[in-house]
Structure 1
Amino acid sequence: MFTSFLNFFKKTTFLTIIVIVGLIIANSSFGTIGAGQRGILLRFGAVTGTVYNEGLYFKIPFIEDVKKIDVKVQKEQTEATSASKDLQAVHAVVALNFHILPKEVGKIYQEIGIDYKDKLIDPAIQESVKASTAKFTAEELISKREIVRAEMKKLLTEKLFIWGINVDDVNIVNFNFSESFNTAIESKVTAEQDALASKNKLERIKFEAEQRIVEAKGKAEAMRVESEALKSNPEVLQLRALEKWNGILPQVTSSNIPFVNINGLGK
């Protein structure tokens, strides 16, 4: 009886081992490619040229393997040090949005590998920053930022497209310059603001002076017209004198006291 039990145990153990091995093999034979990914089929570590799309795939266990590469839009931010056209030190931070063309994933894996960001993307950004900033002065890098960005994008597109990488967008996160240059820029901006303020003040003073001149000319013209009118009509002076007279004659008579010709006012 013991012998029968031993034989049964051996058979059960053997079958259990077979089932476990079978499950392991089955589990190793299938896999899934996620959304925005492609799978590169390797056989004994070599690229076969077969690329799996999203979904379920099959491979031979222990012989074949599948490496997954993202084809979604990815972002890489890199720092780069360069020099401007006028030899000012420039420290730039640039962000690149890119995606790998699905049909080129095999080429990238075979020639560059999975760490394509370190080997390809970052160096390309640094080279493009150096080439772009060398075409502009330090001040132009600030005032013509959009033009500089477009130049960087153009250079990056040329460098990366040959590897099957599409440049979606490039953004200049920041430009930093030397402390002395920053101080010079601040001084220049302050001087320009002061000059503008002085110009505005001068224009205001000039405008106010012109207003006073116009006002004075107006008053002078009014006085001239009034003077000519009085010369032509002396009765007006006499009428104004009567309007201001309170009706009381002076108490002291003198030959120098003027009298208004009342008779003449009625003519």
Structure 2
Amino acid sequence: MVLIFLGIIILVVGSVLKRSDTAGSRFSGIATTAGIVLMVLGVFLSAFKTISPGQAGVQTLFGKVQNNVLESGLHVVNPLVDVTTFNIQTQNYTMSGVHSEGDVAGDDAIRVLCSDGLEVTIDLSVLFRVNEAKAPFIYQNIGIDYLDKLVRPVTRTVLRDNAVNYQAVDLYSTKRQQFQDRIFQTISSNFAKNGLELQQILVRNVSLPASVKASIESKINAEQEAQKMQFVLQKERQEAERKRVEAQGIADYQKILSTGLSDKQLQYESIQAQKAIATSANAKVIIMGNGKTPVILGNQ
């Protein structure tokens, strides 16, 4: 486009020089030829447009946006058309409290107010892409700076509007996924109306106030101590039950002995024990009494 206008200017200059009577009129032919060459070269170069992979081209003719989108590849277009390319690949827009992580330098985390009045800080990543067919709409109604005009303000507003329905502790723990799904639906609907496709919302970090963190840690420690005490009590109950069963067994055994053994049975058991002792290598002399306990004399 620039070469075409430059060629026209040189061509007009050559025409003016040709009509003048000055010494410069002899260069009118060179100027005219140069102007024509530049115009032809400009038309040739402007007629061919190459769109890179992952890009989509939006054509504008004298300020009017054309609806047909140029896909990746080589295209022959009107030389007077201006082509603006859009990235249609997945893009990641991160808002983080870490200075070197987010798209905006410094602390860019989102601070929201919860239903219990506590302020929570959220780090968030938004994965989205430009709808190729909607690229002309975006260019005409939003512009190429759709990150600052659409992605950033919509995301931060939706987070703040939905966080008021949750308590701070719930966002940190039990209802974090529910909160993430909820804001995904709202942001996705808003993006779709403006030519963007939301692919994923990532709640990367939820930071609670220091006082709430300390309270949660104290509660967790108390729960752990209670679970530990329950384990100790259960162990003691099992040990007490074991001792009771053991005592009951001893008592039953003693009862059986006291009621089930006769004098003859005891005498028989005594004889069997004496026979075992007599055959032992340590036994030397056994002196038997009249039903009394025998006296054993050995070499020990």
Q: For this structure pair, what is the TM-score category when the shorter chain's length is used for normalisation?
A: 0.7 to 0.9
Q: What amino acid is the match of 1:222?
A: Y
In structure 2, the residue matched to 1:76 is 93
* Cα distance in structure 2, aligned partners of 1:27 and 1:148: 52
* Cα distance in structure 2, aligned partners of 1:30 and 1:247: 127
Q: Deviations over 1:53-81 (max 9, x none)?
A: 222234445x4311111222211112311
User: What's the CA shift for 1:113?
Assistant: 0.6
User: What's the CA shift for 1:15?
Assistant: 4.8
Query: Which ranges of structure 1 fall in alignment gaps of 5 or more residues?
Result: 1-7, 251-258, 263-267
Match among 222, 230, 248 for residue 287 of structure 2: 248
Given that residues 149 and 172 in structure 1 are in contact (C-alpha distance below 8 angstroms), is that contact kept between their aligned partners in structure 2?
yes
Match among 191, 197, 212 for residue 160 of structure 1: 191
In structure 2, the residue matched to 1:128 is 158
Structure 1 pair 104/223, CA: closer, same or farther in 2 (3 Å)?
A: same
Runs of 4+ in 1 over 4 A off after TM superposition: 8-18
In structure 2, the residue matched to 1:265 is none
Structure 1 pair 196/72, CA: closer, same or farther in 2 (3 Å)?
A: same
User: What's the CA shift for 1:186?
Assistant: 1.2
Structure 1 pair 17/43, CA: closer, same or farther in 2 (3 Å)?
A: closer
Q: What amino acid is the match of 2:45?
A: N
Q: Deviations over 1:19-50 (max 9, x none)?
A: 45533443233221122221111122332333
User: What's the CA shift for 1:173?
Assistant: 0.7
User: What's the CA shift for 1:162?
Assistant: 1.2
Partner SS state of residue 215, structure 1: helix
| Residue pairs, 1:25-64, within 5 angstroms | 25-61=43-79, 63-64=80-81
Which moved further from structure 2: 48-57 or 240-249? 240-249
* Cα distance in structure 2, aligned partners of 1:136 and 1:248: 94
Total equivalences in the alignment: 245
Q: Deviations over 1:212-259 (max 9, x none)?
A: 2122222222222222212xx232333344536973368xxxxxxxx5
Q: What amino acid is the match of 1:159?
A: N
Match among 169, 175, 187 for residue 144 of structure 1: 175
Q: What amino acid is the match of 1:189?
A: I
In structure 2, the residue matched to 1:237 is 266
* Cα distance in structure 1, aligned partners of 2:110 and 2:236: 50
Partner SS state of residue 143, structure 1: coil
Q: What amino acid is the match of 1:73?
A: T
Structure 1 pair 131/213, CA: closer, same or farther in 2 (3 Å)?
A: farther
Match among 195, 198, 206 for residue 226 of structure 2: 195
In structure 2, the residue matched to 1:89 is 119
Match among 52, 72, 84 for residue 67 of structure 1: 84
Which moved further from structure 2: 201-210 or 28-37? 28-37
TM-score between both structures, scaled by the size of structure 1: 0.80
Q: What amino acid is the match of 1:234?
A: D
Given that residues 45 and 64 in structure 1 are in contact (C-alpha distance below 8 angstroms), is that contact kept between their aligned partners in structure 2?
no
Query: Which ranges of structure 2 fall in alignment gaps of 5 or more residues?
Result: 1-25, 96-108, 278-284, 294-300
Given that residues 33 and 54 in structure 1 are in contact (C-alpha distance below 8 angstroms), is that contact kept between their aligned partners in structure 2?
yes
Ranked by relative contact order (alpha carbons within 8 Å, sequence separation 6 or more), the top structure is: 1
